[in-house]
Amino acid sequence: MLIPLILSGGSGTRLWPVSRRNLPKQFLELAGKGTLFQQTVARTRALPEVAAPLVVASEDHRFLAADQLLEAGVEGATIVLEPLARNTAPAIALGALQALQHDPDALLLVLPADHLIADTAAFAAAVAQALPLAKDGWLATFGIRPDRPETGFGYIRRAEAIDGHGFRVGQFVEKPSLAKAESYLADGGYDWNSGMFLFRASRYLEELAAHAPAMLEAVRAAHAKATADLDFVRIDRDAFAQVPDNSIDYAVMEKTARAAVVPVSCGWSDIGSWSALWLTGDKDAAGNLREGDTLTVDTRNSLLRSHDRHLLATVGVDDLIVVTTPDATLVAHRDAAQDVKKIVEQLKAAGRSEHSLHRVVHRPWGNYDSLEAGERFQVKRIQVKPGASLSLQKHHHRAEHWIVVSGTAEVTCDDKVFLLGENQSTYIPLGSKHRLRNPGKVALELIEVQSGSYLGEDDIVRYDDVYGRA
């Protein structure tokens, strides 16, 4: 059985301020219909004789992945939770061990969740071409036919053909200089390293045992201690912390004698930066990729992205990236797009939340939007999904006022439980045990006004939580 293994642990810092740690690029609608994660899953659903996907995701993103699978109508998926980031080789090993529990002959189609593929038919044809190689014990990777001398990707040099299905890998090449990239393009025997693979789960583990035995042993130990948590497979944190950090390329693919490459032209992009997104998008006559409410005068070859209810206007500029969100604006030259991550590093070093959180923060029960804040007060708009419930909690430093805008709220405040409807309100005193639940079938929306000496999100003492949060 062909099992798609979707790797969804990245953070996408080069696409800040839209992509952030708590809502990374794979869970965003950046190009086309649906998020990149949903598009990746959709591509696999169109393949013949394919099983439900197996997703390896960060614990922080578990409910994002689950919600987006639900939105896409995908049933039967397994979500394995990585407690710590350990790169692609251990993540794939976790997926392989999980797959083998259900099918000893499982074939894994390994796909990063944050890639864009315009030509899905060409992608499906490449998978079909690689299947005989995988069944014959090869570790197949997909090489993207280059259409420009790209210095931001690694390359794969093709060697001899294998039964008309692909080529033996001659060499993996690191990101080259421009001169080298131009020579690779002229040579015609080099492809971009896509990070997509197809192989038997058992064969991958055999190669990992041969070339990185300590890693495999540590992953096996962590997976053996896995526990079921709601619809997730939770990997033991302490055990997984012992796993070495390494990519599949360094740990296995560059060392195995059974690496094969299947070249493909499928409109692929890893959306690794704003300039990469500009390259892939539909541009106007002046070469501008525009999204949202934008106006331009004498503006060329730029990426302009505005958030809701915000007009973005440019005059007399070329080759710029201008991206706005409710709490941050990025202005960068297109040639410097790779350096956006340096802004994220500065934000982290300064202890600012903008590197990880949006103004709208997603939670397993819904989301909240910080509308306004000042000395000793904060105003939030809270949305709770039907049937969802916040934790039973209290605060040491703040009181709260709740005003229902729409829907029905079930409120627990100390020993009282009562309902509030539209335009009704209540007061939660400082130190009171309280809980908010949506008992209805439509979304609950309310305004929360916090007041007190400290309003940070860490002023929460949880007594009970259906989502397993401490």
Per-residue pLDDT of the chain (470 residues; tens, 9 = 90+): 899 999 998 777 899 999 998 899 999 999 888 999 999 999 999 999 999 999 999 988 988 999 999 999 998 999 999 999 999 999 999 999 999 999 999 999 999 999 999 999 999 999 999 999 999 999 999 999 999 999 989 999 999 999 888 999 999 999 999 999 999 999 999 999 999 999 999 999 999 999 999 999 999 999 999 998 877 999 999 999 999 999 999 999 999 999 999 999 999 999 989 999 999 999 999 999 999 999 999 999 999 999 888 999 999 999 999 999 999 999 999 999 989 999 999 999 999 989 998 888 888 899 999 999 899 999 999 999 999 999 999 999 999 999 999 999 999 999 999 999 999 999 999 999 999 999 999 999 999 999 999 998 889 999 988 887 66
Q: What is the pTM of this model?
A: 0.89
| Residues 417, 421, 424, 425, CA torsion sign | positive
- Beta strand 268-269 with 116-117 is antiparallel
Secondary structure of residue 280 in the 3-state scheme: helix
Enumerate residues 6+ apart whose C-beta is below 8 A from 119. Answer: 265, 266, 267
The reported pLDDT for the residue numbered 443 is 96
Contacts 24+ apart (CB under 8 A), 320-323: 321/274, 321/275, 321/278, 323/17, 323/18, 323/274
The reported pLDDT for the residue numbered 197 is 98
Q: Which CATH superfamily is domain 2-269 in?
A: Spore Coat Polysaccharide Biosynthesis Protein SpsA; Chain A (3.90.550.10)
CA distances from 432 to 71, 376, 396, 419, 454 (A): 36, 19, 9, 17, 16
Topology of the domain comprising 360-464: Jelly Rolls (2.60.120)
Instruction: Sketch the domain layout of the chain as residue ranges.
Output: 2-269, 274-340, 360-464
- Phi, psi dihedral angles at 468 (to 5 degrees): 75, 20
The reported pLDDT for the residue numbered 470 is 62
- Phi, psi dihedral angles at 96 (to 5 degrees): -65, -45
